[in-house]
Structure 1
Amino acid sequence: MTVTGPLSPPVPSDAIGSGYSELVREVRGLGLLRPRRFYYVVLATLNLVGLALVVAGLFVLHDSWWAILLAPMFAVVSTQMAFFSHDVAHRQVTHRGGIRAALCLVHGNLANGLSYGWWVAKHNAHHAHPNDLETDPDVAVGAFVWDASQAGERRGVGSWLARHQAALFFPMLTLEAFNLRVSSFQAVLRPGIRYRKTEGVLLLAHVVLYLALLISTLTWAQGLVFLFVHQALFGLYLGCSFAPSHKGMPVLTAEQDADPLLRQVLASRNIRGGHLLDLALGGLNLQIEHHLFPSMPRPNLRRARPVIEAHCRARGIPYAETTLLASYGLALRHLHQVGAPLRAE
């Protein structure tokens, strides 16, 4: 079952079951699937410099309320490191499994307190069938509901949240970083993660180092405020980066869902913007290209965009693209519509 939203736009019958392999050959022929190691070395260096500046700033502003101003910068650094881990996990940096795991464990578990193994399994399920209620964990019932059938099952506090979820969307994103960390710790306590013991040690090391940094540079009151501001903005930034690309996209027919090209293109939307937006959103603004070619390095997504758009247009396949603000409007309207039956009651 897919997420209830606008009806899927008509797609020519001859577009189904054709075109994807041809697109893959064209993209591969342009060299757009080759790793861009230098780009990511520069990106990783900038992230580490940003982290070092925040840490140094906390020691310079020792026991000062001015240090709270570093929390937003820390949130940006944390999110950018999460984007870097995302790209590494998708094999955009290197195809060597050992190096890939080491980079993700350092940037994900140690630096951000997020489980690499848990996230990869969750994210791969999302990529396989985006917006499918039965298989995509990103639209599973949680703090939000994404389909009228999910809303009808809510009771008590859950029902109240579903009725008002559009208004609560951005405020609740401030809790997302805490939610991800709880899920990460829960995951390493259960069997199933390849580097489970290593991940557990690194998650604990993250907590110890983070708290040690705050305790050694701030008073307890300043530390609590810094922690809340940093984590709230981290969660808000992450949520605002991932939310615009799929929420409220159309329902797919079984035939469309079975086609690898249509499944990814029709369930995703791009966000218009330039290279600065690419950096700010970690390349997630080019969601169609990313979903069609998850291993394509982030800087190549923009080069692939005209190729993929032309391929879709030539076959009458809708290629959704809008502005960042408009995408939030679409997502919020969808959340509001899903909660409408509960409000009517």
Structure 2
Amino acid sequence: MDTSRARRGSDFARLSRRVAEAGLLERRPGYYAIRIGLVGALFAGSWAVFAAVGDSWWQLPVAVLLAVAFAQVTLLAHDLAHGQICRSRRTARTAGLLVGNLAVGLSYGWWMDKHTRHHANPNHEEHDPDVAPDILLWSRGQAETARGLPRLIGRHQAWLFFPLLTLEGVNLKVSSFRALRRPSLKNRAAEALLLVGHVVAYLGALFAVLPPAKALAVLVVHQACYGVYLGCTFAPNHKGMPVLTAQDELDFLRRQVLTSRNVSGGRLLDVALGGLNHQIEHHLFPGMPSVNLRRAKPIVRDYCRSLGVDYVECGLLASWGQALRHLHDVGQPLRAARRA
């Protein structure tokens, strides 16, 4: 028996025991009651401000406020999907449909399936849907075989990354509606009804309060800011970290740690990013309440260092810089081929 392989296979079990003994896997109902109340107040309050401002170009900054509210609701849906808030899957699913589909127009079932596959194989070319070469390219191997739009965009994708993020909110909604065609999607009728309900209520509110030109301007600003907010929340976590292939055989701990990056910062950053700035801890313990991730960080960091496993952490701007440099490097073969 390969004793080295057996030892590595137990590395996560030992870490898990340490984290559990610290009480960090226990649920935090008080924290989530407060957070749900505050996010709900922000969401309802943003729409109340929208109604109060009425027919005015001052609605544009209100659209930014709405984008923040939508992003915070989406982060709550994320925690629901991971079972961080309640034990009952049925309760979590019902709440997720209301929070995701109805409140922000994001299919809870589709996103949960996609995100689960991402967690199982982060940054894996063949298995992680978040690094599929749909528009952007994440490895030089993808660049070498790229065709069509990804090949065109890939040459200058680092420069186009943030502009493309302005479309992410719309992309999520389009993907949500496209997912309704899948027979495998659970609760399709409820998903469809709530998604349509969101669109009708959202557009109805915009065009009931504002004339068409202003309504469209608010829609564009709101969706663009929402997309950038979400992109800046999720992109720093893995982009620019190693991209795995079928040749990479890693145990669970190393697969999660080596492909993830933490973003350092204070409590305000935790609130803004929903705790996902502690991405390494979140990937190791996805069911851990997000408020506990900061407390788990020193345990995980010290343990990884004792094993000689790289634990990557940097500031927010530095994380964006690493992601952009990686995207630029991936596009180099395409730029070279064009010059040839």
What band does the TM-score fall into relative to the shorter chain? Answer: over 0.9
Unaligned runs of 5+ in 2: none
SS at match of 2:9: coil
2:77 aligned partner, one-letter code? S
C-alpha contact (below 8 Å) 1:72/1:230 kept by paired residues: yes
Give 1:18 deviation, angstroms: 3.4
Give 1:277 deviation, angstroms: 0.6
Instruction: Note if 1:178 corresponds to 2:176.
Output: no
Relative contact order (alpha carbons < 8 A, sep ≥ 6): 1 or 2 greater?
1
Instruction: Note if 1:92 corresponds to 2:80.
Output: no
Q: TM-score normalized by structure 2?
A: 0.95
- Higher alpha-carbon deviation: 196-205 or 46-55: 46-55
Give 1:27 deviation, angstroms: 1.0
CA distance in 2, matches of 1:64, 1:289: 45
Give 1:253 deviation, angstroms: 8.2
Give 1:252 deviation, angstroms: 5.2
Instruction: Note if 1:202 corresponds to 2:187.
Output: no
Instruction: Note if 1:293 corresponds to 2:285.
Output: yes
SS at match of 1:16: helix
SS at match of 2:58: helix
Match of 1:159 in 2: 151
Cα gap change, 1:255 to 1:26, in 2 (>3 Å): farther
Match of 1:330 in 2: 322
Give 1:156 deviation, angstroms: 4.2
SS at match of 2:86: coil
Cα gap change, 1:103 to 1:341, in 2 (>3 Å): same
Give 1:189 deviation, angstroms: 2.3
C-alpha contact (below 8 Å) 1:16/1:255 kept by paired residues: no
C-alpha contact (below 8 Å) 1:108/1:116 kept by paired residues: yes
Give 1:232 deviation, angstroms: 0.4
Match of 2:43 in 1: 51
CA distance in 2, matches of 1:295, 1:271: 20
C-alpha contact (below 8 Å) 2:125/2:244 kept by paired residues: no
Deviations 1:256-304, CA, capped at 9 Å, x for gaps: 6431111101111101111111111111100000000000000100111
Cα gap change, 1:155 to 1:255, in 2 (>3 Å): closer
Instruction: Note if 1:143 corresponds to 2:108.
Output: no
Instruction: Note if 1:68 corresponds to 2:60.
Output: yes
Match of 2:22 in 1: 30
1:299 aligned partner, one-letter code? V
Match of 1:107 in 2: 99
SS at match of 1:74: helix
C-alpha contact (below 8 Å) 2:139/2:243 kept by paired residues: no
Match of 1:240 in 2: 232
Give 1:154 deviation, angstroms: 2.5
Give 1:66 deviation, angstroms: 1.0
Give 1:56 deviation, angstroms: 1.5
CA distance in 2, matches of 1:65, 1:311: 53
Give 1:111 deviation, angstroms: 0.4
CA distance in 2, matches of 1:254, 1:149: 13
Cα RMSD of the aligned pairs, angstroms, is 1.6
Give 1:14 deviation, angstroms: 8.8
1:294 aligned partner, one-letter code? P
1:113 aligned partner, one-letter code? G
Picking from 256, 268, 271, the partner of 1:264 is 256
Cα gap change, 1:166 to 1:253, in 2 (>3 Å): closer
CA distance in 2, matches of 1:159, 1:301: 38
CA distance in 1, matches of 2:159, 2:21: 46
CA distance in 1, matches of 2:330, 2:173: 28
C-alpha contact (below 8 Å) 1:35/1:93 kept by paired residues: yes
CA distance in 2, matches of 1:253, 1:234: 32
CA distance in 2, matches of 1:15, 1:160: 46
Deviations 1:214-273, CA, capped at 9 Å, x for gaps: 112111111000000000000010011100111121255879643111110111110111
Deviations 1:86-116, CA, capped at 9 Å, x for gaps: 0111011011011101111111000010101
Quote the sequence identity (%).
51
CA distance in 1, matches of 2:38, 2:230: 19
C-alpha contact (below 8 Å) 1:264/1:288 kept by paired residues: yes
Cα gap change, 1:338 to 1:113, in 2 (>3 Å): same
Deviations 1:197-220, CA, capped at 9 Å, x for gaps: 100000000001101111121111
1:336 aligned partner, one-letter code? H
Picking from 62, 69, 82, the partner of 2:74 is 82
Give aligned pairs, total. 334
SS at match of 1:145: coil
Match of 1:223 in 2: 215
Q: TM-score normalized by structure 1?
A: 0.93
1:171 aligned partner, one-letter code? P
- Higher alpha-carbon deviation: 323-332 or 242-251: 242-251
C-alpha contact (below 8 Å) 2:137/2:150 kept by paired residues: no
Instruction: Note if 1:249 corresponds to 2:249.
Output: no
